[in-house]
C-alpha cells in the first residue's frame, strides 16, 4: 500500500541530494538513503530520477505561483504588486538554499528542461507577471506602449540572474537585500513617471 506522504518525503530528500552532489552525480540510491527508505521504494512513486526532478519543479513552482498570487492580491496597486513579487521571489529562495541551488543551477543542466517539462509552470509565472503589468497599464501607472511580453521576460530575467549570481557566489550576502533595487530599476523603465 502506498503512503501518500512518501512522494513529498522523496522530493525533499532529492532537493538536498541534488543541491549537495549535483543532479548528474546523484543516484536514486542516494535519494533513498537521504529519505531513509529502501531504493526500491522510490520506484513505487517515481519511474526515474528525471521524473523526480520534473515533479519537484512542478510542485514547488505551482505552490510558489499560488503563494505569490495570494500575496500580491493584497497589495493596493501594480507598483506595490511588482515590489512584493520581487521581494517574495527572493525571500522564498533565500529561506531554502538547497531548493535555490536546484532551481537556479541544477535544473539548467538539462537544456530541454525549460522548453518541455517546466513550460506550463514557467508560463503560469509569466502570466502572473503579465497580468500585473496589464493592471498597471489600465490604471495609467505603467506606460501605455509597454510591450508586456518583453517586460515580463525582463523582470523574470533580472530576478533569475540575481538569484543565480547569489547561489553561485555561495550566498555571500542576503538575497532579500537586493529586492528593492531590482524592483526599482525595473519600475523606472515601465512606469509613466519613472518612479
- Vertex 126 angle, CA 87 and 181, to 5°: 30
Instruction: Tell whether 41 and 66 lie within a shared domain.
Output: no
Domain shared by 96 and 160, yes or no: yes
> Does 118 map to a domain?
yes
39 and 14 in a single domain? The answer is: yes
Q: What Cα–Cα distance (Å) separates residue 2 from each residue in 28, 63, 115, 171, 174?
A: 18, 23, 32, 38, 40
pLDDT-derived band at 3, boundaries 50, 70, 90: confident
DSSP letters, 88-152, are: HHHHHHHH-HHHHHHHHTGGGGSTTTTTTTTHHHHHHHHHHHHHHHHHHHHTTSB-TT--HHHHH
Note the pLDDT of residue 192: 85
Q: How far is residue 160 from each of residues 1, 104, 106, measured CA to CA in Å?
A: 41, 8, 14
Whether the per-residue pLDDT at 130 is higher than 70: the answer is yes
User: What is the predicted pLDDT for the residue at 8?
Assistant: 94
Q: Are residues 22 and 67 in the same domain?
A: no
Name beta bridge partners: 142: 191
Q: Is 158 exposed, middle or buried (0-12, 13-18, 19+ CB in 10 A)?
A: middle
Q: What is the pLDDT of residues 13-59, one digit of tens each?
A: 999 999 999 998 999 999 999 999 999 999 999 999 988 988 898 89
The C-alpha atoms of residue 16 and residue 4 are separated, in whole angstroms, by 20
Question: What Rg, from alpha-carbon coordinates, does the chain have?
Answer: 18
CATH classification at residue 1: 1.10.10.60
Decide: 17 and 30 in contact? Cβ < 8 Å: yes
Question: Is residue 167 within 8 Å of residue 108, measured between CB atoms?
Answer: no
Task: State pTM to two decimals.
Answer: 0.90
CATH of the domain at 174: 1.10.357.10
Torsion sign over Cα 83, 86, 124, 3: negative
Domain count, the chain: 2
| 195 found inside a domain | no
pLDDT greater than 90 at residue 125: yes
* Rounded average pLDDT over 160-165: 95
The rounded percent of the chain whose pLDDT value lies above 90 is: 75
CA distance 100 to 38: 27
Band of the pLDDT at 78, cuts 50, 70, 90? very high
Domain range holding 6? 1-47
Residue 179 has pLDDT above 80, yes or no: yes
Distance CA 35, CA 18 (A): 13
Residue pair 82/132 in contact (Cβ under 8 Å)? The answer is: yes
**Residue 194 pLDDT class (50, 70, 90 cuts):** low
Do residues 84 and 12 both lie within one domain? no
Amino acid at each position: 500500500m502506498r503512503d501518500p506522504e512518501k512522494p513529498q518525503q522523496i522530493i525533499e530528500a532529492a532537493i538536498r541530494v541534488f543541491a549537495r552532489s549535483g543532479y548528474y552525480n546523484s543516484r536514486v540510491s542516494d535519494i533513498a538513503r537521504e529519505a531513509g527508505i529502501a531504493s526500491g521504494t522510490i520506484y513505487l512513486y517515481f519511474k526515474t530520477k528525471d521524473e523526480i526532478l520534473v515533479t519537484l519543479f512542478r510542485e514547488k513552482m505551482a505552490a510558489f505561483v499560488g503563494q505569490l498570487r495570494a500575496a500580491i492580491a493584497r497589495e493596493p496597486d501594480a507598483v506595490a504588486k511588482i515590489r512584493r513579487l520581487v521581494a517574495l521571489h527572493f525571500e522564498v529562495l533565500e529561506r531554502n538554499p538547497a531548493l535555490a541551488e536546484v532551481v537556479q543551477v541544477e535544473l539548467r543542466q538539462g537544456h530541454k528542461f525549460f522548453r518541455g517539462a517546466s513550460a506550463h509552470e514557467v508560463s503560469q509565472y509569466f502570466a502572473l507577471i503579465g497580468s500585473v503589468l496589464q493592471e498597471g497599464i489600465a490604471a495609467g501607472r505603467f506606460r501605455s506602449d509597454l510591450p508586456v511580453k518583453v517586460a515580463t521576460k525582463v523582470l523574470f530575467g533580472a530576478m533569475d540572474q540575481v538569484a543565480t549570481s547569489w547561489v553561485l557566489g555561495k550566498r555571500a550576502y542576503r538575497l532579500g537585500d537586493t529586492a528593492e533595487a531590482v524592483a526599482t530599476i525595473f519600475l523606472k523603465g515601465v512606469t509613466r513617471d519613472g518612479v
